[in-house]
Amino acid sequence: MRLYDTYSRSLVELPAAPGPIRMYFCGPTVYARAHIGNARPFVVGMWLRSWLRATGYDAQLVHNITDINDKIYDAAPGASAELAARATEWYLEDTRDLGLGMPDRLPKATESVAQIVHFIEELVEAGHAYAAGGDVYFRVASFADYGRLSGQKPDQVEQGEEPSALKEDPRDFALWKANKPATEDTWWDSPWGRGRPGWHIECSAMAEEIFGPVFEIHGGGLDLVFPHHENEVAQSRALGHPFAQIWAHNGMLRFTGEKMSKSVGNVATIRETIDEWGREAVLVFFLTASWRKPIDFSPETMEQAAARRDTLRNAFTLAAAGHDEAGWSAFAATLDDDFDTPAALAVLHEWASTGQLELLRRGLAIFGLESLAERDEAPAEVTALAERRAEARAERDFETSDRLRDELAALGWQMRDEPAGGYTLVRDA
Backbone angles phi, psi at 105, to 5 degrees: -140, 145
Residues 204, 102: one domain? Answer: yes
* Residue 429 clears pLDDT 70, i.e. is over it: no
Secondary-structure percent of the chain, ordered helix, strand, coil, rounded to 5: 45, 20, 35
Residue 382 gets the label, from left (phi > 0), alpha (psi -120 to 50) or beta, of alpha
- What CATH code is carried by the domain that includes residue 141? 3.40.50.620
Query: pTM for this one?
Result: 0.89
Q: Are residues 170 and 67 in contact, defined by beta-carbon separation less than 8 angstroms? A: no
Q: Which of 158, 157, 178 is CA-nearest to residue 166? A: 178
Residues 227, 269: one domain? Answer: no
pLDDT digits (tens, 9 = 90+) for 227-255: 999 999 999 999 999 999 999 999 999 98
**pLDDT of amino acid 369:** 98
Residue 400, classed as helix, strand or coil, is helix
Q: Which of 208, 226, 250 is the last residue of a domain?
A: 250
Dist CA 235 CA 243 (whole Å):
10
Q: Which of 250, 281, 297 is the last residue of a domain?
A: 250
Q: Where are the beta strands (DSSP E) in 193-288?
A: 195-197, 214-221, 243-250, 253-255, 258-259
Residues 277, 139: one domain? Answer: no
**pLDDT of amino acid 64:** 98
Dist CA 278 CA 299 (whole Å):
13
Q: How many domains would you assign to the chain?
A: 3
Task: Tell me what the pLDDT averaged over the chain comes to.
Answer: 93
For the segment 384-395, the average pLDDT, to the nearest whole number, is 90
Q: Which of 195, 218, 250 is the last residue of a domain?
A: 250
Q: What is the residue range of 329's domain?
A: 255-373
Higher pLDDT, 140 or 318: 140
Residues 241, 115: one domain? Answer: yes
Residues 228, 274: one domain? Answer: no
**pLDDT of amino acid 252:** 96
**pLDDT of amino acid 263:** 56
* Residue 418 clears pLDDT 90, i.e. is over it: no
Q: Residue 160 — pLDDT band, cuts 50, 70, 90?
A: confident
Q: Residue 319 — pLDDT band, cuts 50, 70, 90?
A: confident
For the segment 317-334, the average pLDDT, to the nearest whole number, is 88
Residues 127, 275: one domain? Answer: no
Dist CA 80 CA 302 (whole Å):
35
Higher pLDDT, 153 or 32: 32
Q: Residue 332 — pLDDT band, cuts 50, 70, 90?
A: very high
Residues 280, 264: one domain? Answer: yes
Residues 208, 355: one domain? Answer: no
**pLDDT of amino acid 258:** 60
For the sheet with 214-221, list strands across it: 59-63, 21-25, 214-221, 243-250
Residues 155, 29: one domain? Answer: yes
Residues 362, 265: one domain? Answer: yes
For the chain, give the percent of residues with pLDDT over 90: 82
Residues 100, 130: one domain? Answer: yes
Which amino acid appears at position 2 of this protein? R
